[in-house]
Chains A and B, each alone.
Chain A
Amino acid sequence: MKIEIDESRCKGCNLCTVGCPYKIFQAGKKPNRKGVLVPLLDRPERCTNCRLQHLYGRVLCGVCQMTCPDQAIRFRDEKSGEPVKVAIEY
């Protein structure tokens, strides 16, 4: 599972940057086609929900998705054959 930001909906309020406990969302630097500074994802493979939702069968954190006032953040399953990055924690 991976995090996806819908650029057509994001208004660049950066509310997601305060919610995430891993600080995965970082404030964007470059304006996109609409002139919105869409947040960047910093190593999104660390996300708890993305890693473990399949094991537990329920949403584990999902605070970014709930906080996003523009419904721009969603969790999506990878397509078959899509390369998956794995977080290694020491």
Chain B
Amino acid sequence: MSYEDWFRQDRLPHIYCAGCGNGTIINCTLEAIEEMGWKKEETIFVSGIGCSSRAPGYIVTDSLHTTHGRALPFATGVKMARPGFHVIVFTGDGDLAAIGGNHFIHACRRNIDITVVCMNNQIYGMTGGQGSPTTPKGALSTTTPFGSVEPAFDLCELAIAAGANYVARWTSYHVKELTKAVKAGLENPGLSFIEARVQCPTNYGRRNKFKQVLDQVEHLRSHSMLRQKYLQHQERGDAVPDGTIVVGEFVKRNRPSMGVPR
């Protein structure tokens, strides 16, 4: 048994562009689920609209491909109706942070027992590269042709403030760490939020001086900083360079949660 058994072999190869990191995140998530030893009949994948949300279409289990931004309400419904099922939500940054932002906050507040894997590519990839709430300051996109002037959303801090039980962030370069983080999230009762930074070579990298896919992956690798190190920097009062991606486990706590089977 390996995670490859979870793919619909007849639907592969998928539609993602060459070098897109979403496939890596699907691999890591499925590997974590495989390690949990869950049955395919008792696992449900829910997704909204976007590149990342095409993921459940390539997985053999039952899945819901729902309206834009409303993956979390649908997942809440599934979990409330069948608390014994394992619900995993694949979502993107435009899906989760922009259109489904309020649903995300309330799902964290209710602390429903689901796992949210957010593939954050910092842009609306599928619709043609419009700027999303997580587009960093100065980045070019089709709606910000002179560089984004707004500060970007930090989804992990938002999830912590709203009350999620487990929050972690990794990039598509850190596959082993991401697998462990997803597994920890699946084991933890309550809402587990894992943000995975992915590269988008077609719509983000092409406009932002990453000519090759590997350049963007190298950027993800060299700009990520462990949370412990980041906290040490903050304690000493050192400046953290711009564009640093703080990675690692942000919070793991045991607030009362909804939908945990008794």
Contacts and interface: CB of A to CB of B under 8 A. Distances in A.
Contact of A15 (B31, B179, B214): B214
Identify whether the interface residues of A are mostly helix, strand, loop, or mixed: loop
Interface stretch (A42-50, A63-71, A80-88): A63-71
Contact of A66 (B20, B22, B175): B175
Interface residues of B, number: 27
Nearest to B23: A69
Contacts of B250: none
Contacts of B176: 63, 66
Interface residues of A, number: 20
B4 A11 contact: no
Contacts of A12: 18
Contact of B12 (A9, A17, A65): A9
B214 A67 contact: no
A71 B23 contact: yes
Given A69-B22, A69-B23, A15 B217 contact: yes
A21 to B, nearest CB: 12
Contacts of A13: 18-20, 201, 213
Given A18-B173, A68-B23, 17 more contacts: A11-B18, A11-B19, A12-B18, A13-B18, A15-B19, A15-B213, A15-B217, A18-B217, A19-B175, A67-B175, A69-B16, A69-B20, A69-B24, A70-B12, A70-B13, A71-B7, A74-B4
Interface of B: 4, 7, 12-14, 16-24, 27-28, 31, 172-173, 175-176, 179, 201, 213-214, 217-218
Interface of A: 8-9, 11-15, 17-19, 63, 65-72, 74
17 contacts: A11-B13, A11-B18, A12-B18, A13-B201, A14-B19, A14-B213, A18-B217, A18-B218, A65-B27, A67-B24, A69-B21, A69-B22, A69-B24, A70-B13, A70-B16, A71-B13, A71-B23
